[in-house]
Amino acid sequence: MRKPAGGVRLSFIRPMEPELVEQPPKGDGWSHEVKFDGYRTQLIKDADGIRLYTKTGVDWTDKYRPLAEEAKSIEAESFIVEGETIVTNEAGLSDFHALRSAITRRPQDLYLVAFDLLHLNGHDLRDMMLKDRLEILQVLIPAGSHIQFSEALPGTGDAVYHLACEAGLEGIVSKRQDSVYRSGSTMNWRKIKCYVEKEMDIIGVKRGTGKPAMVLMAENGHYMGGAFVTFRADKRQALWDRVHGKAGALPPKGLAKEKAEWLKPGLVGRVKFLKGEEKLRHASLKDFWERS
């Protein structure tokens, strides 16, 4: 462990970030945690007091003042704790869409879910294995406050992922238990998001030689992005027949630069896509029909 000179002001550390993958890792040596839907946050205490930073190193201590007050109950001279600032809904799940207004209007309802410890009492812990850092962090975080420890979930990655999606969570984060902490993107940490399915309007299509076909989707008049068409030949042809009958619409407002065939209203699709994204991501069209 690296030990700095005493009394120094601790600097924000660029976060270690999980890679987005399709499936949880298999085998032993991994821990699996809930992927909380909030803002990545770094909590620092040193001789200058307590500060909270955003993922990019912006000081948001004033916005997170109740969390800063609660951090005073953590019994240590200095630390750098990593976590996710969240607000929960009535079901007890993290609610990203309510978070910004909660920060402004009801910051006392914010929680910080702590999931890593980078520095403690003059010692840099980043060269320690994750499982050892978490053992220290769990003891450090007092029970019953708005700063909580992120517990690993028991079971294999596949089982934990399935249960998380069934429970309506955004997904999981899987981490190598022996991994050291290094800033930047890494496959030693992996995030696996749950998928949801939803009905949306098909407002256009993109078809080009050598490129996968894609339908363009909208929800309540708002453009949501594209979904890949992966049907077999007969169903794909049935879709193109429906598209042909709807072709000829003007580009929707703000989408004139998109090179697409725009469709008249009435064609609906069921699309599968990653949960917790503002626009469609990793999306595929599962079915389609004419609105009755």
Phi then psi for residue 130, to 5 deg, are -55, -45
- Partnered with residue 189 across adjacent β-strands are 175
- Report in angstroms the alpha-carbon separations of 170 from 30, 54, 265: 19, 20, 31
Selected catalytic residue, list 3, 35, 63, 175: 35
Phi then psi for residue 141, to 5 deg, are -80, 120
- Partnered with residue 216 across adjacent β-strands are 204, 226
Residue-wise over 144-157: b if at least 16 C-beta within 10 A, else e? eebbbbbebbeeeb
Active-site residue 35, yes or no?
Answer: yes
- Report in angstroms the alpha-carbon separations of 23 from 13, 180, 279: 29, 22, 21
Other beta carbons within 10 angstroms of residue 256's beta carbon come to 9
Residues classed as catalytic = 35
